[in-house]
Structure 1
Amino acid sequence: MSFDLAVWFAPAEVTATEAKARYDQIVDAEPGDVKHPQVAAFYRELTVRYPELVDDFENSPWAAGLDLTEAAVVMPITSPHAEVARFVLALARRHGLVAYDPQSGEVHNPGVLTLTSADGSRAENPDAATIRTTLQRLSVTNWHAVLERGDAYVQVGQGQHAGASEGHYALEHRDGSPDRHYRTDVPSREDVATAFLAFATHDDTWRARFEWRKLDF
């Protein structure tokens, strides 16, 4: 079993309908060398981490060779290698590229504010009410939520899964690379909401409200 992910450059956000139409054009296009600079940089970094399939079918995450056009890359990923999909999505964001999952129809636009939680819910560019509602749904089973924009995010976890003490929330934020990842424990959901809402509006003053410790990975 395998699934595809496609990555390309778009000058503006694309809808699911637009992404499907663009994907159909890509798979019907004549193959060629990648020429768009951002897509080319994505492809170089991708294949340093996961080289093109040659003959090592057992260990490669690719079900077949990567499909390349002048401004797009389509990747057939074998099902046991879900971590590759996460790497692809993060790499696409870093290079300012659209990532599209043709199986689910899900579009990942770069720079878009995305809110997700453990129960599988996902919202793009959520308003304050949506953010608060998502945080109110935190529970023992729906134990974390993440608000991300590009390589930066703020996230919250509760309970033993997050290593949070009883009655507290584990609040974390990352500014790009793993060496800029910080954590603090806060006693109230309102503290969490303050951080999430400020992050959503590009207000960095919330960081000074808490005492952070750097996490090493």
Structure 2
Amino acid sequence: MSFDLAVLALGADNDADFARRRFERCIAAGTHDAGEPDKRIVAFYEQLQSIYPDHGPAVEALDCPWNSTPLSVGIDHVIMHLGFGSRSTPAIGPVLRMAADHGLIVYDPQGNDVYLA
């Protein structure tokens, strides 16, 4: 069992419904929009990889928070599938802080919650 968190490059004026539609578009499309990646997403993903990689030998480690790898990364989003419990709980705080540091929005589809930067 897993839960999702999506880090989205949206404006601060976007609400939970807009974030939900963007998340659903990213999940349903199966492909990602073409174009230049948002610099905030690139910086967030690079920082995330330095702590919690989604490929290589570290993924096999017991402390890896990902329930599914690689992460879904597009020009305007990073979607993470996390496992419940002690593996993933410690990663939530850093994900929220890093997203805020990069001016990104975190969307929690389980509760339709949006965490603004």
TM-score range, shorter chain: 0.7 to 0.9
Greater per-residue strand proportion: 1
Give, in angstroms, the shift of residue 35 of structure 1.
1.6
Q: Which has the higher contact order (CA 8 A, sep 6+)?
A: 2
Amino acid across the alignment from 1:84: A
Output the CA distance in 1 between the equivalents of 2:83 and 2:32. Answer: 21
SS at match of 2:107: strand
Distance in 1 separating the partners of 2:99 and 2:50: 15
What are the within-5 Å matches in structure 2 for residues 78-117 of structure 1? 78-80=83-85, 81-110=88-117
Q: In the alignment, which of 36, 39, 43 is matched to residue 38 of structure 2?
A: 36
SS class of match (2:114) = strand
Q: Distance in 2 between matches of 1:64 and 1:32?
A: 21
Paired residue secondary structure (1:10)? coil
> Unaligned 5+ residue runs, structure 1?
111-217
Residue 27 of structure 1 corresponds to which residue in structure 2? 27
Mapping 1:95-174, distance limit 5 Å: 95-110=102-117
Kept in 2: contact 1:6–1:101 (CA 8 A): yes
| Pair 1:46-2:48 in alignment | yes
Superposition deviation, residue 49 in structure 1: 0.3
More helix by share: 2
Which runs of 5 or more structure 2 residues have no equivalent in the other structure? none
Q: Tell me how large the CA RMSD over aligned residues is.
A: 2.0
C-alpha distance in 2 between matches for 1:60 and 1:74: 15
Q: Describe the superposition over 1:122-154 as per-residue Cα deviations: whole angstroms up to 9, x where unpaired.
A: xxxxxxxxxxxxxxxxxxxxxxxxxxxxxxxxx
TM-score, L = length of structure 2: 0.84
Alpha-carbon distance between aligned partners in 1 of 2:79 and 2:4, rounded to the nearest angstrom: 7
TM-score by length of 1: 0.47
Matches within 5 A, 1:49-64: 49-54=51-56, 56=60, 58-64=62-68
**Number of residues of Structure 1 aligned to a counterpart in Structure 2:** 110
Give the superposition deviation at 1:16.
1.5
Give the whole-Å Cα distance in 1 for the aligned partners of 2:38 and 2:102: 11
Q: By how many angstroms is 1:5 displaced?
A: 0.3
Contact 1:53–1:60 under 8 Å retained in 2: no
- For 1:175-194, what per-residue CA distance to the aligned partner results, in whole angstroms no more than 9, with x for missing partners? xxxxxxxxxxxxxxxxxxxx
> Once the 2 structures are TM-superposed, how far is the Cα of residue 60 of structure 1 from its aligned partner?
1.5
Determine the structure 2 residue equivalent to 1:75. Answer: 80
Whole-Å separation in 2 of the counterparts to 1:61 and 1:45: 15
